[in-house]
Amino acid sequence: MSVGAPAWTLLDGARSRVYRAFAPVLRPFIANRALRVQALAVFSIVTALALTSLAPLWLLALGPIVLGVPHLVADARYLVAQPGLHRHGALSWLLFLPLIGIALGAPPFVGLLSMVPAVLLANARFSLKLAGLSAWLALTFAAFHFENHFLLAFLHLHNLVALAFWWAWRPREARSLLIPLLVVAALFFIFLGGADSAVAHSGPRTGSPFGEFVETNAPGFEPMLAARLILSFAFLQSLHYAVWLRLVPDDARARPAPRPFAASWNALERDLGLPLLLVCVVACVVFAAWGVVNLAEARDGYLRLASFHGYLELAAGAYFLVQQKRPAPC
């Protein structure tokens, strides 16, 4: 019997009742994966922008605590387990060792080393591998000689890597262009001042929690521009979580219709193994409890733990880009 089987049975029963109650409205989305994923993406963008405009501090503080560990699980599942990056012997360890180094506090150029075995593992022409290695050299030069600037740029841009990765997962219909257009429109809204009232409400002054976010993650910028940069980060971080926890899972599976909760758990257990999943469940509980005691310390602790994941996403992106192959649904 699956772990948590009674809970999955209750949840699946509740979902079935909701489907039956709202069948005329939900049926097109259940039957049509593309329509469902587009609707989820639009809902995620609108919700993220609303929360950014109303409560950015809570979004920045609670997002990593509540969704951080589950999104790392999704990273491991879709970037490592399903593509089989862990099945290449010694070369796989050369990919993962730099990521371990980053989690232990190594400088960013060490994390970028994970791109090298990822590019070499790709089934691609030499010229494409050479292009991938050239990109790695350029990034390494920037990370080594301009470390602080690189870290800031990587912090703010790695959320877009997840969006690009999801966008490439499946061929998109023309109407799907609405999604990136909405993201761009939301960013324009933020940078043109549409969410500035949230800055005043959150307390942009030096020493306030929001002010500390600004000082730490957007140093050297004019104050209002720096605050808007943090608002854009809050917005894109929320989309980052939505991509890995909702959009990629829906696109990644071969079955076009939604899976029952029990089947989803069983598939996750097959991909990652029960011991790793139990460790992740414990980690979720630990961070939640830590957040109740000291939210700021819990968030910082999670960020230290998760510091490797941006480099993992970059390495996996290089692997698929050089290989010129979409991830296969499973």
pLDDT digits 0-9 by tens, 35-60: 899 999 999 999 999 999 988 888 88
pLDDT-derived band at 91, boundaries 50, 70, 90: confident
pLDDT-derived band at 205, boundaries 50, 70, 90: low
Res 3: pLDDT: 59
Round to whole Å and give the CA distance between 158 and 114. Answer: 15
Res 16: pLDDT: 84
Looking at the chain, the whole-number percentage of residues with pLDDT higher than 70 is 94
Res 233: pLDDT: 93
Looking at the chain, the whole-number percentage of residues with pLDDT higher than 90 is 39
Q: Show me where the domains of the chain are located.
A: 30-250+258-323
Chain centre distance of CA 122: 23
